Amino acid sequence: MPFSAARSVKSLNRDRVPSDSHRADEAGDEVQWIAAVTAPDQLTAEMWQQIMLQESIPSMLDPHDTISFLGVSATPVRLLVPLEMMARAKEVLADIQGSPSIPEAGDA
């Protein structure tokens, strides 16, 4: 199954989402998760995820990028955020990396 930048929450592993951020709103709409950035490894992605949490931005690691039975993945890991939080997430990521913008996931 090819990777799609935006996925419905049903296609992702709900156990990896912090708190109740994976829940749809009262109207029953599904949260659309989109890759905000690709971290060089899982540890970096987890640090960025904690910063997102501190900024009240729900986020999760793409479960297809992590390798839980082998420990921590040394390969690139995508950090997913809700589509409607993408602009704010990019601002936060730019601040922590000290650059004016963060490349889209998958960009070279």
Residue 82 sits in a domain whose CATH number is 3.30.70
Cα–Cα distance between 69 and 52 in angstroms, integer?
25
Flag whether 29 is in a domain.
yes
Query: Angle at Cα 41 formed by Cα 104 and Cα 82, nearest 5°?
Result: 45
Flag whether 106 is in a domain.
no
Rg (CA), the chain: 13
CB atoms near residue 101 (< 10 Å):
10
Flag whether 11 is in a domain.
yes
Flag whether 108 is in a domain.
no
Flag whether 52 is in a domain.
yes
Flag whether 58 is in a domain.
yes
Number of domains in the chain: 1
**pTM for the whole structure:** 0.64
Structural domain boundaries, residue 64: 6-97
Flag whether 64 is in a domain.
yes
Q: Could you give the residue ranges of the DSSP H alpha helices within the chain?
A: 42-54, 86-97
Flag whether 103 is in a domain.
no
Print pLDDT tens along the chain (108 aa): 444 444 544 444 444 444 444 444 455 568 999 999 999 999 999 999 999 999 999 999 998 888 767 778 888 999 999 999 999 999 999 988 775 555 555 554
